[in-house]
Structure 1
Amino acid sequence: MASPNSEKGRVSTSNTHREYDPDLEQGGVISTSEGRAHPSGIGNPGPMGLFAFASTTFILSMYNVQTRGIAHSNVVVGMAIFAGGLTQFIAGMWELPRGNVFGATAFSSYGAFWMSYATIFIPSSGILDAYSDPDELASALGIYLVTWLMVTLFFLLAVIRKNVAYTLLLSALSIAFACLAAAQFSQSVMVTKAGGVFGIITALIAYYIGVSEMLAAERRAIVTLPLGVWR
């Protein structure tokens, strides 16, 4: 996830000159289709990180709702390592020289989440084999998910009342984490499915934001998608 303070620029009358205006970085609503130039010279890594996050979340959430009878989520491990994990982490590192503290922290954190999640289900890690009691494993996973629920709520504090799209994204993600944690503690299939539903909602919102920021980076995009700003 990128920063709610998406970059915006002010375009001169010349198509060859693009001026960066830091005053326009607030709110995340794109007002021009002519492109923006950031002082760091680094393009916006937000779409890349958002698509990686959304795709991995969507796949796992579809498994959580047992789409087409799928009850095991192991296929998501590869996506969690390379897309949700590595790609997001790289996006976070690229946000640092742009001065985007939120984007760097969020992308890097969720990249680490997905890589750590994948590691749990890699047989050679020995993590699952260390638990002979299924109830102990469920409790351990529940605590793991509660921790990421707290992290997500901290991120939500940074965007609430500032950006509509990111507020909806992190709110849906918080509910998904809460449901999945509760499902581990209660061993309820229905609560797991509820977490999957909110995970799918989270992924769709992330896709929307990713497309919005990708189109905003194009000089002559045929359409722009507003992210919304609380006034």
Structure 2
Amino acid sequence: MTTPTAAPTTWGDPFPLGLASFGISALVLSTVMSGIVDPAALPAVLPLALALGFATELVAGLVHFRRGETFPALVFTAYAGFWLSYALLVQFYGPMVTAGGAAITGMFLLAWALFTTYMLLAALRTNTTTIVIFVLLAGVFYLAAFGSFLGSAGLGKTAGYVLILDALVALYASAAIIVNTTWDRTVLPVP
């Protein structure tokens, strides 16, 4: 008697999920960073950062790993780590720092800028939309890092406006992938 072999499990494309998770979380955070929304509202961003930015991007990244897609897997799992560490820094650990807070925040942001830069190098082998997302995100991290190091609210606000644009590009890419897949044709081009 032969044991039946289970059919291989197929996994859907998690890329639009990861992009939507990033785009929504980044869009809400960017309104606080840019000053469009009062900075006192920052704690209200943290639940979104944890539930969507962290948890959902982590799921998207793990599915990419399961599918053997290393680049998007690393992108989404690493940035899930960003959202978790950012929420912890803002809510719990940052307020405990009495000396050197701006420097450690600057280093936190600079480390992410460096990571984003080498992910941008990898993205150069993908498509224009993904490249734009990484160029803008690297700009956000560098502006925010140097804004923190220099105590410049202006650089931080500029980072927020760049993040708005980045979030909108990510949301467009997510929409294009899911709409094109659902319609089984190109409705929204992804250059």
> TM-score, with normalisation over the residues of structure 1?
0.75
Question: Which residue in the other structure is 1:49 paired with?
Answer: 18
How much has 1:129 moved relative to structure 2?
4.0
Matched residue of 1:224: which SS? Answer: coil
**Contact 1:40/1:98 (CA < 8 Å) preserved in 2?**
no
Does the aligned pair in 2 maintain the 1:40–1:97 contact within 8 Å? no
Shift of 1:204: 0.5
Equivalent residue for 2:139? 175
Aligned pairs, number: 183
Matches within 5 A, 1:102-121: 102-121=71-90
1:66 partner letter: G
Alignment gaps of 5+ in structure 2: 1-7
Offset at residue 182 of structure 1 (A): 0.8
Report the AA paired with residue 144 of structure 2.
L
Residue 130 and residue 71 in structure 1: after superposition, are their counterparts in 2 closer, same or farther (change >3 A)? closer
Q: Could you tell me which amino acid in structure 2 is paired with residue 91 of structure 1?
A: A
User: Alpha-carbon deviations, 1:203-224, whole Å to 9, x = none?
Assistant: 0110011011112321x35752
- Report the residue type matching 2:74 in the other structure: T
Distance 1:129 1:66, change over 3 A: closer
Match of 2:148 in 1: 184
The equivalent residue for 1:74 is 43
* TM-score normalised according to structure 2 size: 0.90
Decide which of 142, 149, 171 is 1:207's aligned counterpart.
171
My pick for the range that moved more, 174-183 or 160-169, is 160-169
In structure 2, how many angstroms separate the alpha carbons of the residues matched to 1:67 and 1:83? 21
Pair 1:152 & 2:116 matched: yes
Distance in 2 (alpha carbons) for counterparts of 1:155 and 1:224: 28
Q: Helix, strand or coil for the counterpart of 2:43?
A: coil
In structure 1, stretches of 5+ residues that fail to align are 1-38
Partner amino acid, structure 1, of 2:82: F
* Equivalent residue number for residue 97 of structure 2: 131
1: CA distance, partners of 2:95 / 2:142: 26
Query: Amino acid of the residue matched to residue 128 of structure 1?
Result: G
Task: Looking at secondary structure, tell me which structure has more helix per residue.
Answer: 2
Secondary structure of the structure 1 residue equivalent to 2:27? helix
User: C-alpha displacement at 1:132, in angstroms?
Assistant: 1.4
Q: Which residue does 2:181 correspond to in 1? A: 217
2:57, 2:116 → 1: CA distance?
16
